Amino acid sequence: METLIVLALVSVLLVVAIERYVLSVKPVKEAALVIELSNMRNAVTHYVLLERKLPASLKELTETSIEVPRKELSGEYKIMVVGKYVESATVDQDGWPLDPFGYRYWYDPATGRVRAGAPGYEKW
């Protein structure tokens, strides 16, 4: 009998602990989403400034190296910056950037608009 009471108490405590953990993770992921959306949008802006066109996809931002054109008296040349437009984003097996909730970002190549792919966060 005592074993059942202890088991019931442990079960209740475990359920409460898991619920609190889940509730504490959501605000952290939301804060990360705000930061990552800003980074993705800035990456699109930088791409447009340097390439003079919108990227075809967000995947292109994770694959394209940054080249900064530079003009001097000796002529025009490009400086290769070590890195891509987007480096720190988590990507899926196909190379598409994922939001903190594990969904692909939504991107409109006609307008350059980036938004979250996670359900409930599409308007962020």
Query: How many Cα atoms within 13 Å fall on the side-chain side of residue 36?
Result: 26
- Each residue's pLDDT, cut to its tens digit, for the chain (124 residues) gives 889 898 989 999 999 988 888 888 899 999 999 999 999 999 999 999 988 999 999 999 999 888 776 766 677 776 767 788 888 778 899 989 999 999 999 999 999 999 999 999 999 8
The model's pTM: 0.74
CB 124 within 8 A of CB 106: no
Helix (H), strand (E) counts: the chain: 2, 6
- Report the pLDDT value the prediction gives residue 118, as an integer from 0 to 100: 94
Q: Is 82 left (phi over 0), alpha (psi -120 to 50) or beta?
A: beta
- Report the pLDDT value the prediction gives residue 73, as an integer from 0 to 100: 65
- Report the pLDDT value the prediction gives residue 84, as an integer from 0 to 100: 87
- Report the pLDDT value the prediction gives residue 109, as an integer from 0 to 100: 96
Residue found by looking up tokens 């292109």 in the block? 60
